């Protein structure tokens, strides 16, 4: 029977065409809940939450430098990209900075125009071909800069009339990025673009950029999004281990409300107590997990509730999710799942350590 473990009976006419991962697909998760457990409507909401967490929390750094790529894929063509940030040249020890991103640990420059001291450089990644063709296209797009929206600004120690303007295509839409002095205004940029740069189109200087770099990335995920995603992973995990009826228990209703954004967090917290953290790390080390794998495991504390532990990439940041209540579980032994995303497989924890 189709019945959403998150909406329960509070919404009618739900669709159940998709399946929900236990671990998010973007982290390499493979195992899914059976069809009929999670509605398409709530899954769509979860995708937006997960997108924020995977791109803007500490998990983004692991994905950018280690993987996996889009939807958990390991092929290089699907490697995860960071959001656009500021890239500074380290080899030449110059003050030059560029707009770019990181992909599988390597810096990539976006198409941009750099203006300084009345000098205009059109900048492209050195892997691109036909630079003259790219430059004509970039300059053509820049003619619409004044009406561009939205524009992402990054501040730098540039002079007030020094800046970079870059573009990235997202589907058919253009995304605009500006690196400039904090006192530089949009009006300043438009004036310089209109009065100087377009008059110099025939004097293009194309610069290739390919050097060791320092990258400034914005890690800016809302903590509430992160906590809700952790609670969602934990509830999915319990539904997988004990089936749907177990998580329909009304004692999970307050957790459901939190995951759906209807109430505050009283369930999720990082493990900070030094003694508890060291003990938990020793327990996890005893499992002898595959390198950089993800782990989720839980135990029932009779009369108190179910405690779930989540760890990603063998990192010291350990998440604790506590569902309080008196549940119909007869064992206090641990139960868990390992996600060995590098080898595209998941396994039962108890079978692994037996």
Task: Note whether 208 and 255 are same-domain residues.
Answer: no
Instruction: Please give the tally of structural domains in the chain.
Output: 2
Q: How far apart are CA 4 and CA 14, in angstroms?
A: 8
Task: Note whether 204 and 230 are same-domain residues.
Answer: no
- Give the mean pLDDT of 286-295: 96
Q: What's the confidence (pLDDT) of residue 221?
A: 66
Burial call 73-103: b when 16+ CB within 10 Å, e when fewer: beeeeebbbbbbbbbbbeeeeeebbbbbbbb
Residue after which a domain boundary falls, among 216, 234, 264: 216
Confidence of residue 197 (pLDDT cuts 50, 70, 90): low
Residue after which a domain boundary falls, among 191, 216, 241: 216
Task: Note whether 184 and 226 are same-domain residues.
Answer: no
Q: Which of 7, 5, 15, 16 is nearest to 244 (CA)?
A: 5
Task: Note whether 277 and 167 are same-domain residues.
Answer: no
Q: Is residue 56 part of a domain?
A: no
Of residues 20 and 203, more confidence is placed in 20
Q: How far apart are CA 104 and CA 87, in angstroms?
A: 15
Range of the structural domain that residue 258 is part of:
221-353
In degrees, rounded to 5, the angle at the alpha carbon of residue 142 between the alpha carbons of residues 90 and 150 is: 85
pTM over 0.75: yes
pLDDT, tens only, 39-49: 999 999 999 99
The answer to whether 46 touches 80, Cβ cutoff 8 Å, is no
- Give the mean pLDDT of 86-91: 71
Residue after which a domain boundary falls, among 193, 216, 239: 216
Q: Is residue 58 part of a domain?
A: no
- Give the mean pLDDT of 79-91: 77
Of residues 199 and 282, more confidence is placed in 282
């Amino acid at each position: 029977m189709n019945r959403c473990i998150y909406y329960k009976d509070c919404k009618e006419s739900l669709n159940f065409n998709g399946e929900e991962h236990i671990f998010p697909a973007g982290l390499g998760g493979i195992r899914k809940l059976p069809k009929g457990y999670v509605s398409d409507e709530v899954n769509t909401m979860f995708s937006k939450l997960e997108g924020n967490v995977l791109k803007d929390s500490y998990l983004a750094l692991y994905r950018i430098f280690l993987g996996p790529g889009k939807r958990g894929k390991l092929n290089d063509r699907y490697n995860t990209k960071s959001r656009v940030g500021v890239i500074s040249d380290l080899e030449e020890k110059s003050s030059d900075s560029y707009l770019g991103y990181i992909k599988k640990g390597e810096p990539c420059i976006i198409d941009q125009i750099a203006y300084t001291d009345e000098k205009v450089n059109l900048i492209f990644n050195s892997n691109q071909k036909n630079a003259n063709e790219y430059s004509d296209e970039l300059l053509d797009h820049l003619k619409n800069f004044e009406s561009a929206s939205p524009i992402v600004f990054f501040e730098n120690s540039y002079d007030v009339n020094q800046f970079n303007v870059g573009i990235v295509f997202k589907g058919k839409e253009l995304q605009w990025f500006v690196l400039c002095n904090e006192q530089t205004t949009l009006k300043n940029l438009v004036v310089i673009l209109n009065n100087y740069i377009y008059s110099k189109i025939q004097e293009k200087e194309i610069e290739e950029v390919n050097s060791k770099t320092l990258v400034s990335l914005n890690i800016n995920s809302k903590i509430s999004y992160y906590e809700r995603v952790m609670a969602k992973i934990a509830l999915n995990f319990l539904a997988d281990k004990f089936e749907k009826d177990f998580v329909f228990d009304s004692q999970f209703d307050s957790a459901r409300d939190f995951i759906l954004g209807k109430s505050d967090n009283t369930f999720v917290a990082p493990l900070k107590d030094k003694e508890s953290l060291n003990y938990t790390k020793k327990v996890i080390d005893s499992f002898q997990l595959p390198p950089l794998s993800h782990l989720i495991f839980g135990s029932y504390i009779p009369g108190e509730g179910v405690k779930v532990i989540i760890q990603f990439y063998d990192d010291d940041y350990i998440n604790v999710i506590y569902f309080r209540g008196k549940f119909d579980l007869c064992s206090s032994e641990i139960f868990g799942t390992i996600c060995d995303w590098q080898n595209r497989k998941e396994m039962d924890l108890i079978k692994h350590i037996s």
